[in-house]
Structure 1
Amino acid sequence: MSFAVDESLQFPPNVTEYKIPLQYGTNYTITLRGLTTSGAKEVTTENIETDIGDPPLHMEKTIQDDILQLYPVLNLNGPIRSYEIIVFGGQDGNSTKECRTFKTTLYNFSWSPSRYTAAVLPVENLTEPRTFILGDNHHYNGFHNAPLIPNHNYAIYIRVTSRWKHVCLY
């Protein structure tokens, strides 16, 4: 869905700051022009793209052994494009920052990467809850869901990608 809202605000001379109430998953074009006693100044335009925002938390009790329960995320904060399952080997904690900056990486047989994308599932493939078996040795859209090493710690992330930005769930 797309729509435009045009709003114009004028401030008294003593206002030096104004906090714009931005919505998640929205693109903004902000145009500013100062008016002084000597006339109007040049127009300044700023484009702002906000993060999609955190989708509903649905990860509690969704991993049991190597089975991950996946739930569709509603398009409340922007149009969902895909779900990326990311495996971080040798980790116990939750690092959303690392997930946000992670570059999609293929698993490589010649060396065992500590971080890789096990699957990318287009939104059309997750219209209702489904299970996903971690390390099932299958390929999903060109990504290898490599077997997991027994007794090894892993952190599993699901990166929900919108058309604008992405967020991570742990």
Structure 2
Amino acid sequence: KYALIGNESTCFCANEPGQYKLGTEACNTPCPKNETQKCGGDNAASVYDTEVTAPGPPMSIEIQNITETTIRVKWTAPQAYTRITGYLIKANIIETYADFALIPLEWQVSNDTNESELPNLQPGSTYNISVAATNYEEEGPSISTKAETVIGTPDPSPPDIEIKERHGDQMLVHIPKANNVNGPVSMYRIVVSIELYQQGFITENLGNFTFADEQDLPYYIKAELAPDEIKNDFIIGDEHTYNGFFNAKLPLTNDIEVSLGIVSQKNHVRKIRYAESTKKIILNINEPEVVSP
């Protein structure tokens, strides 16, 4: 990089020293603050080599596309540089739902590239994305921006619901706190399957009690609860409505399977995962019903 000084104090920067060279006598104007140096002359400028060979920062940076595990970033070349041999892109974690350490990631791309897709990122995480131009081993100052990946399907699988008591058409359960490394745990869903033919349930067909009744489905969502609502034990079959899901009484003629679903929601994206295992309650035909006085 070069500094061009003329008219006593006017200074310009350039990546090249220029081609038209004048004799040293053409630059005969002393610099105002250092008379031992020359600051150009009539129709002439003094050229000084700054000895800075690292490129300047890219002019701009822009996030173009984001998925659960990728971010596409685009940038423009630096205004000041001697030579650009490539670009160094870094992704450093700022905020995440993961409960394990995420190492900083780096990618090197060629000097004729001005955009790149960054893979292997953690879902639902905020990263600081920076781009710096390089001159072989010299790395220039970077330009950076923040970007957040889309939340992923909850992981690990939701825990098992703890069955405490069953009295006739109601059941007392405890819902354990769920973990999710791919996003927030926004809501808990209680799913009941009336075991007619050991059929389990199809997640795509899950709905509320009314939908299950209309479609003649033996399984449905009993309730959708916020995280602060699972602190106390929950009664399945209390005939109350929880976030749009009617908690109907349990039938007295069939075995029941109970399982848990996790809803993760952020930035208008919703991901749901249901437990891979269920808790079966075998019907005791001789079990007395609890009758309110």
Give the TM-score normalised by structure 2: 0.37
Instruction: Report Cα offsets for 1:140-161 as digits up to 9, x if no partner.
Output: 2232111111131222121011
1:134 paired to 2:236: yes
Report the CA distance shift for 1:139/1:148 in structure 2 as closer, same or farther (over 3 A).
same
Matched residue, 1:8 = 107
1:105 paired to 2:208: yes
Ranked by relative contact order (alpha carbons within 8 Å, sequence separation 6 or more), the top structure is 1
Matched residue, 2:163 = 62
Amino acid at match of 1:105: N
Q: Shift of the alpha carbon at 1:7? A: 3.1
Q: Does the CA contact (< 8 Å) of 1:68 and 1:131 recur in 2?
A: yes
Matches within 5 A, 1:70-89: 70-89=175-194
Q: Percent identity?
A: 22
1:119 paired to 2:223: yes
Q: Does the CA contact (< 8 Å) of 2:94 and 2:126 recur in 1?
A: no
Q: Does the CA contact (< 8 Å) of 2:188 and 2:226 recur in 1?
A: yes
Q: Shift of the alpha carbon at 1:91? A: 5.0
Instruction: Report Cα offsets for 1:47-104 as digits up to 9, x if no partner.
Output: 98642211563x27535322211122245442111011112222575858x34x3443
After TM superposition, the structure 1 stretch with the greater mean CA deviation from structure 2, 107-116 or 134-143, is 107-116
Q: Residue 155 of structure 2 aligns to a residue in which SS?
A: coil
Q: Shift of the alpha carbon at 1:123? A: 2.1
Matched residue, 2:114 = none
Looking at structure 1, the residues matched to 151 and 188 of structure 2 have their Cα atoms a distance apart, in angstroms, of 21
Larger Rg: 2
Unaligned runs of 5+ in 2: 1-92, 97-103, 110-118, 128-148, 279-293
Instruction: Report Cα offsets for 1:116-162 as digits up to 9, x if no partner.
Output: 22111122323x3x211111222222321111111312221210111
Give the TM-score normalised by structure 1: 0.59
1:160 paired to 2:259: no
